[in-house]
Amino acid sequence: MTEAQMKSVALFFFYAFADKATAFAASTEALHLFEKKIKNLDSNVNSQPMLVFSTHKIWKKYSKKKNKSYQPNTVTEQGWIIPSQLKLEQWWQFSKDTESIIVLTLIWSILLDIDEKDIAEGLGVSEGTVRYRTGKALKLLGSIQGHSVGVNA
């Protein structure tokens, strides 16, 4: 497991859950699962599909128990460095309003730059489906963004 993959997992759960403590707990569990899955894999084999699979599985688990209270701490609070000018309201709005799998596909595909082929393999869908979901997600996010820009103007 590379440091980049660990960062990807941590970022994935940050984008997926609004709560940092939940993101931390889910990241830990997903990394354990990922580690277990790639244990027997050859080092030359691409492990990205397994990363997608692990994050998706743990996301499903944690999305069902959103109300569970995780204890926030300094590490989790300061773990994700957010640029000061970045407004996350639109993102949370988009996450709330949009079908989960579309949001997740956008995270993997655009925000984490995971290859569409790997996402498709990890989810067990076609590449076309991944591309369709990504395109749809971008349009929806753009419409929320456009609306907020319009309102602000």
**Residue numbers at the binding site for other proteins (CB under 8 A):** 3, 6-7, 9-11, 14-15, 24, 27-28, 31-32, 75-76, 78-83, 86, 90-91, 106, 110-111, 131-132, 134-135, 137-143, 145-146, 149
* Whether the Cβ atoms of residue 119 and residue 28 lie closer than 8 Å to each other: no
Give one DSSP letter per residue of 116-138, joined into a string.
Answer: HHHHHHHHTS-HHHHHHHHHHHH
Whole-number minimum distance, CB 28 to other proteins, in Å? 4
- Which C-beta is closer to other proteins: that of 63 or that of 132? 132
CA-to-CA distance for 103 and 96, rounded, in angstroms?
Answer: 9
Measured from the CB atom, the residue of 37 and 131 that comes closer to other proteins is 131
Give the nearest distance from C-beta 94 to other proteins in angstroms: 9
CB closer to other proteins out of 44 and 84: 84
Q: CB–CB of 93/144 below 8 Å?
A: yes
Q: Show Cβ contacts of residue 110 under 8 Å, excluding neighbours closer than 6 positions.
A: 134, 137, 138
CB of 110 to other proteins, least distance (A): 5
